[in-house]
Amino acid sequence: MRVGAFIHLCIDMQEMFKQPTPWHVPWMARVADTVVEVADRFSERTIFTRFIPPQQPDVMWGMWRRYYEKWPMMTREHLEPELLRLVPELGRLVPPARVFDKATYSPWFDGSLDWMLKGERVSSLVITGGETDVCVLATVLGAVDLGYHVVVLSDAVCSGADETHDASLEVLGERFSVQVEICRTEAFLSSL
């Protein structure tokens, strides 16, 4: 495994996905211990993304407005603020870990995360979190486009659906094999 100067990018491990909301991700409990192990070991090199919904659907543009018209109960107008927080076992690592808030599936939308990482001479990203077939997928594909080497820890990413989780990992591992490595956490840790 070839990992240079890396950042652990942990995707959206928030209370709104852990708790029984319409966006509950049942698998989160399965991967939580592994994600915590990686984040704890590399807390100074960890950035937690948080998916932050708008206050109301009408402040969003295009299809995002329609998305939140479908999920109005998940806008900040109705959502308890505590649900936006990281799960406590990860939140305790901030600082030294950092938090990056985003309004879309991808953290690359406004360019600020890429600018920050390039300023820190980061060449590799180690990805954990959820959901494999939504925000993780958007994060990985954006990172590939921006030239990063990406390592996805297959036992530290989660989804609500086995079929699309498996398909996402298969596509990333096969179609993007030059830029993306899929491995288990133990293999990654032992390679360092």
Give the count of domains, the chain. 1
Positions in the chain short of pLDDT 50: none
Given this model, what pLDDT does residue 56 score? 96
- What pLDDT was estimated at residue 4? 65
Residue 57: predicted pLDDT: 96
State the CATH number of the domain containing residue 47: 3.40.50.850
Cα–Cα separations (whole angstroms), residue 61 to 15, 27, 65, 70, 187? 26, 30, 5, 14, 42
In terms of residue numbers, what domain contains 150? 6-191
Instruction: Please check whether residue 1 lies inside any domain of the structure.
Output: no
Burial class (CB in 10 A: 0-12, 13-18, 19+), 4: exposed
Amino acid letter for position 23: W
pTM (predicted TM-score): 0.95
Instruction: Note whether residue 103 is domain-resident.
Output: yes
